[in-house]
Amino acid sequence: MSEPLVTIGIPTFNRPEGLRRTLGDLCAQTYRHIEIVVSDNASPGSAVRDVVDEFAANDARVSYHRHPENVGAMRNFSSLVLKARGEFFMWAADDDRWEPFFVERCVQRLVADPRLAVCQMEAQYEVDGKTLFPFFFEGSPFNSYSSRSPVDRVKHLLRHVYGNLVYGVFRREALFHEGKPITEWIGQTLNEIPMQILLASWGNIRVVPEIGLYKSAPRTVCEQARWEQVGGRLPNWRGWRNYLTDCRSLHQYHKMVMHENFAAIDALGLHSRATGRLRAFAAYCLLKHEFLLALRWKPVGPETPQPTVANPVAQN
């Protein structure tokens, strides 16, 4: 029996050096039955194409597509799903790193459990792709949770939104709803919750409690992601003079996210009472999150053990 094909889609724009590192890690994955599609969102010059050509010359699994004009981030993401030939699919950011076993271990779990929509591994953040940020668990609520109820799965997701799910390995059919890629439910806020609502309605979500991904992000993003999980006080990076202005912006943003979440819930096709209850629950979770962000404090959570990583991939 042949191994299922995994399509790895890399949306990129004008980051040739980050792309070089990304392609190096992905071509070195221990799971060999992959295709790697780079979607260039109309980068200026030839540097991005030159990097892809360099890898494609030595690895026939690598291919290049260029949009004639910049189509925006989400349309670039969606275009990769539509081009994919694999039974499984993953997006790869052009500035992240992976352990060589990442794809293999995710595929093993997807093959073993056909009810899974996506499998991800824990991520350790890197500040601007240079310095490792202290590790903290984000995916613990999805280590073993399973339900046959789409509504219960969505409610569990809303309680424990996990942004890095976007970069897991998906069952490709779970990435479509009403014939369209679920990324098309992501609105102008670029918040990933609407996409994840549709994903959770399709099937279960699994996160392996072992580091497999190194996620590049600014320090402020790393610190907020850690605060979301461990609690305590969140630094006020912009100072108290800007506090009220920031709170107004925060409220406007969450108001827009709430409408985007409602649109995704409405698309589930539930009966009116179930839809209303799910909308109310989504609103409660989002308003609670906004309130704690405005306070810049949340209760400290329980300590969790550190994962063991024998040989993390070397930093370039």
Tell me the CB-side half-sphere exposure of residue 209, using CA atoms within 13 A. Answer: 12
Residue 305 confidence (pLDDT) above 60: no
| Domains present along the chain, CATH in parentheses | 1-95 (3.90.550.10), 97-316 (no CATH)
pLDDT digits (tens, 9 = 90+) for 63-90: 999 999 999 999 999 999 999 999 999 9
Give the integer Cα–Cα distance in Å for 10 and 6.
Answer: 13
| Beta carbons of 189 and 257 less than 8 angstroms apart | yes
Name the percent of the chain lying above pLDDT 90: 90
Residue 306 confidence (pLDDT) above 60: no
Give the integer Cα–Cα distance in Å for 39 and 13.
Answer: 8
pLDDT digits (tens, 9 = 90+) for 158-176: 999 999 999 999 999 999 9
DSSP string, 108-174: HHHHH-TTEEEEEEEEEEEETTTEEPPP--S-GGGSS---S-HHHHHHHHHHT--GGGGGSEEEGGG
Residue 192 confidence (pLDDT) above 90: yes
Which one-letter DSSP state was computed for residue 180?
A: E
Residue 208 confidence (pLDDT) above 50: yes
Tell me the CB-side half-sphere exposure of residue 296, using CA atoms within 13 A. Answer: 14
Which one-letter DSSP state was computed for residue 183?
A: G
pTM to 2 decimal places: 0.92
pLDDT digits (tens, 9 = 90+) for 234-259: 988 888 889 989 999 999 999 999 99
Q: Would you state the pLDDT for residue 237?
A: 81
